[in-house]
Amino acid sequence: MTTIRLVQGDITQQSADAIVNAANSSLYGGGGVDGAIHRGGGPAILEACRALRASHYGKGLPTGQAVATTAGDLDATWVIHTVGPVWSSTEDRSEQLASCYRESLRVADELGARTVAFPAISTGVFRWPMDDAARIAVETVRNTPTAVEEVRFVLFDDRAYEAFVRQLG
């Protein structure tokens, strides 16, 4: 049975088996969560990402997929990088966002991770409306069989935190 917890704060300050990164397909870092994780985790993460690009992900990590690297200096064993969809008002990309959570849990199970910290994927630079993103995140985690014991949503601000509180009901 997976427990879902909500925390307001900086995901790079969390202690967990795996911390999920809202990455971009290049895996070479960026702003927001991606920038914070690479800054906090140090160069070992980027080195591991470059190795992934040189091997299995020559064209980058596709949207909705997930891949793990070392967590470097973060208080975690792994970072699970996943690429969220950019919000579109004309195309329903909900399945791609759900896939980020589903695939991250699949990777976590492969690793044997028991605690996984997620950010609110796609709700920053990728502009996904917070309430809908929270709905997809909570529903997907609730409906995905996994050995992960604790899923922790780490929300950066009140707006995000309240949105997830509403979704947990």
| CA–CA separation, 85 and 140 (whole Å) | 15
Q: In this structure, are residues 23 and 61 in contact, taking their beta carbons and an 8 Å threshold?
A: yes
- Cβ-based nearer residue to ligand APR, 122 or 140: 122
Q: Alpha-carbon Rg of the chain, whole angstroms?
A: 14
- Applying CB under 6 A, the residues found at the interface with ligand APR are 10-12, 22-24, 30-36, 84, 119-126, 154, 156, 160
Task: Give the single-character DSSP code of 87.
Answer: P
Residue 75: active-site member: no
Q: Which of 10, 17, 34, 131 is catalytic?
A: 34
| CA–CA separation, 128 and 53 (whole Å) | 27
- The total of other beta-carbon atoms located within 10 Å of residue 169's CB is 5
- Cβ-based nearer residue to ligand APR, 11 or 105: 11
Tell me the two tokens of residue 110.
């492969």
Strand partners, 18: 78, 116
Bridge-based pairing state of the strands 16-23 and 66-70: unpaired
Q: Which residues are annotated as catalytic?
A: 34
